[in-house]
Structure 1
Amino acid sequence: MSNLDYKDFEKNDIHVLRQAQFVASMNVTFYLIISIAKIIIGNIAKSTALKADGYNGATDTLAYLIIIMGIAFAKRPKNQEHRFGYAKAETISTLITSILIIETSLWVIWKGIIDWVNNSSEKPDSLAAVIGIGSGVLTFMVFLLNKYFAKKIHSKPLLTSSKDQKWDGITAVLTGLAILVSDWGFPWIDKLTAIVIGLLMLRTGLFILNSSAFKLIDGFSNESLNQVKFELYKFPQVEEIVKINGREYENDIYISAIVKVDRSLTVSDTMKLTKTMQNYLQRRCGIFELDIQYVS
């Protein structure tokens, strides 16, 4: 990372947010088309599994819409009441997404169980298998594109969604294969697959919920904090790191620390040291802002 001052960072963040919003919009269109196709074909072909996969995609469509709204809100400039800006709006949108996924997954599991009990001998049409496998291949291709753009613009909500998308692609292909087996004389597999899809959705939702909730309560990994401490100790003026805290606002990391230095250092020396440390940590750890208090 090159040395950027505060205004350069803000301009960069707005540019990243706009790119993330555009990519998320494209995903909404893709998921909307695929989901509608799966639900319609699932009803026509009498496949509980394909309908469940369609509802999974519909959930992702709503999830991306929520992320877009979160990104749009996150673009609001900093003010006196929100000195760290509105970046956490992205995290909140991710949290809402996880709750939506969990709710839909429970409904899909319940529907799969009901259909298994009531229609255990009804076989799905092979058309459902073709749609399932074809949509899975397309979804996996979109996942690769999303992963590339998410890493390029350093958007964590998009990266989180792309991970979910990878499993969507794999799930769709496996769903298609399960429908084929069901059509060959094992109709119960179609219903069982719907239940499994619901369980996978539940697992994904719980994972995203845990991750976003951790960020909202200012959780910061010990590994990242230890890395920052390791880099700070490289400065010979630092005798001891008395206390250090970190917080993360999506793409921005804020570090505050109390550092013990030699009492011979002047105020001017510590100001220069802080600036040098911040520039160094920006390059090494992606630190957005460093707040240091010195004691002797």
Structure 2
Amino acid sequence: MGGGVTAAGGGTGAAGGGAAAGGALLVVGDVVTDVVARHSGPLAAGTDTAAVIRKLPGGAGANVACWAAHRGCPDVRLLGRVGADAGAWHERELLANGVLPHLVVDPRTPTGTVICLVDEDDGGERTFLTDSGAALRLGPADWADGALDGIGWVHLSGYLLFSETSRALVAAVLRSAQARRVPVSLDPASAGFLARLGTDRFLALVRGVRVLLPSRDEACLLTGESEIAEAAAVLSRRVPLVVAKAGADGAVVAPSGAAPERVPALPVRPRDTTGAGDAFTGGFLAALLAGAAPRDAAAEGCRAGAEAVRRVGGRPPR
């Protein structure tokens, strides 16, 4: 994939490039600006609540790419869409994290913005207010089959399923990957958006995905099960490998046709849980692509998640 910010149009998407042994990791997903507001206790409706506020680079897709590079993946590339307002900044931040970006600049829509409300009295739990902006305008015109030259694995951010344009892109990527026999993973990304999309529709859209990485809430929503291991087992009848993330309870690894295995989390006092699931996914993929077994890769994901929650924002240190 060529680096750099490019103008929108009938784009060729990510171009081919030299790959590491076994092929590069290509992440296709959202790049957004996070405004993280850390406060203590309940918000005071109708008046002021004191907070520490920072503007940080974010987006589930971009975060996964950065964490995969941070945890040792030697060749990570990202395809995303941004507005002209912040494209150059996001490109610099991705490059600084070891990710080769291909950012399509939307001429009409600004970069997506997420307000992250982080309650420090509630274990760093976060609530999102999301304006997806240009991120979900990433579409088939931004893709070409040549984007898979040198690619050994594709990861899709589930946020792409939440607009008609980016859903069409997901379908195009899956067709290209299946034709080239490149495995694809996907993280459902948002239980709230997933509920609006509908579980049956989601499961139809992800047909052909090799690895599904839902959160506990997403796995239970998709199956109607109340327990994460059962939910992962049910999903593994549709997807060859399900790795369900459970935060402080670790993860559940459910290969198709085998009993689910629990992987413990590392004990840690969280400061900010923003991007913890993205860190898990990046760490998991880095280990999996290096040859680790799924359970060992999930343990690496737990280590990355533990590192993430000690920090403010969704990106790794550099």
- Classify the TM-score, shorter chain: under 0.3
Taking structure 2 as the reference length, the TM-score comes to 0.23
**In proportion to residue count, which structure has more strand?**
2
> Could you say which structure has the larger radius of gyration?
1
Taking structure 1 as the reference length, the TM-score comes to 0.25
